Amino acid sequence: MVRSDVFQVVDKPQVQGLVFRKFRGGSDIEQMWRVRQEVAKWDKVDPQSSRESLPTAEEFVKEWTGAEIGNPDCVIVEKDNQVIGYSRIHWWTEKDDKQVYLHLGWLLPGWRNQGIGTAMLHLCQSLIGEMVARDGITSKVELAANASSTEQDAARLMEAEGYKIVNNLSDMVLSDLSALVPANFPAEIEVRPVTTEHFRAIYEVYADAYSTYERAQKPDEQAFQNFVTYDLAGDTGFYRVAWSGEQAVGIVLCHHRNEVGTVDQVEVRKAFQRRGIARALLTEALQELSARGIQTARLYTAANNREGARSLYESLGFREVKQHYLYRKTLN
């Protein structure tokens, strides 16, 4: 008898006891966390990176405890009733109404190069196709995947499957925040303490700064709520907002985790760029981290120095640690 939560995989490798199935809840979480840890060690995931940091066991359990049983955006791979890998699908709408589906996968190193990872990827693509059909998506649909410069198995798989790199990100570190020199703001710019009432204005700066970026998320109410949930969930004391009168014109959002500060957003409205606002805001935010005993900061930015961001960070002393590759492929 075929279980209702088992996926029928056309290209499943001929490995005895291998099953592709849906998420079953609590019984899976501990094994999934073990997979995540072992994969991170093999693929040299940097736990201090702001791009690829490994969640703590507590964070991982919290994330998955509320996940829907049988969730169609999750694939569990098991061998003889032991979880050896899993995949997760996320999606969003970009500003040109393009629908993007990001699939991420983790497979234990000992089970790679046997066709299992390829079957996981193909199954995710098939599930995404079903989602598109179910939701009646008629706009352009792209598949997305990520790999870093130390995740060579994933990079080879993406390239073999016809995915193309659409962006390189430079993962950077600054190891001594105490050496920073304060920078001056333009005369008409004021920095005020951040409150939750400023969240909408902060998001509007972010949306304006990304308004000409090809793959920017569509700036709607859902995007704002996501921004609040994921980007504004920390200590507002680490945030800096520049104001020109009653208009927010620049933002820097920092957080801290495991005694390391992360710079998650540095954005200035198009009309106010090239005036030193980003440098002054970022310096202030980094000095706040230092004042609270945090001496290392991490961030990532476009490796091609789009709009001069990388040059700014390098001028403050940041250096590259590794790169991350963002892949895309049109859904057939």
The last residue of a domain, from among 124, 150, 169? 169
Question: Is residue 108 a part of any domain in this protein?
Answer: yes
Structure confidence at residue 3 (pLDDT): 61
Containing domain of residue 202, as a range?
176-295
Note if the pTM is more than 0.75. Answer: yes
Q: Which of 175, 172, 189 is nearest to 279 (CA)?
A: 189
Structure confidence at residue 66 (pLDDT): 85
Structure confidence at residue 203 (pLDDT): 97
Shared domain for 196 and 164, answered yes or no, is: no
**Average pLDDT over all residues of the chain:** 94
Q: How confident is the model at residue 25 (pLDDT cuts 50, 70, 90)?
A: very high
CB atoms within 10 A of CB 293: 8
Is 332 a residue whose pLDDT tops 80? no
For the stretch 168-207, pLDDT in tens is 999 999 999 999 999 999 999 999 999 999 999 999 999 9
Q: Which of 49, 297, 88 is nearest to 169 (CA)?
A: 49
Contact 234, 267 (CB under 8 A): no
The two structure tokens encoding residue 125: 């693509």
Question: Is residue 324 a part of any domain in this protein?
Answer: no
Shared domain for 43 and 143, answered yes or no, is: yes
Question: Is residue 232 a part of any domain in this protein?
Answer: yes
Shared domain for 90 and 183, answered yes or no, is: no
CB atoms within 10 A of CB 160: 10
Question: Is residue 311 a part of any domain in this protein?
Answer: no
Q: Which residues contact 306 (CB under 8 A, 6 or more apart)?
A: none
Shared domain for 24 and 71, answered yes or no, is: yes
Shared domain for 27 and 150, answered yes or no, is: yes
Q: How confident is the model at residue 291 (pLDDT cuts 50, 70, 90)?
A: very high
Shared domain for 230 and 164, answered yes or no, is: no
Shared domain for 150 and 208, answered yes or no, is: no
Shared domain for 132 and 197, answered yes or no, is: no
Shared domain for 147 and 215, answered yes or no, is: no
How many domains does the chain fold into? 2
Shared domain for 28 and 110, answered yes or no, is: yes
Q: Which of the 8 DSSP states describes residue 2?
A: -
Q: Which of 40-49, 104-113, 211-220 has the lowest mean pLDDT?
A: 211-220
What CATH code is carried by the domain that includes residue 214?
3.40.630.30
Mean pLDDT of 37-57: 93
Shared domain for 146 and 215, answered yes or no, is: no
Is 99 a residue whose pLDDT tops 70? yes
d(C-alpha 328, C-alpha 64), whole Å: 27
Question: Is residue 302 a part of any domain in this protein?
Answer: no
Shared domain for 108 and 124, answered yes or no, is: yes
Q: Which of the 8 DSSP states describes residue 82?
A: E
The last residue of a domain, from among 119, 143, 169? 169
Structure confidence at residue 2 (pLDDT): 45
Structure confidence at residue 253 (pLDDT): 97
The last residue of a domain, from among 141, 169, 197? 169
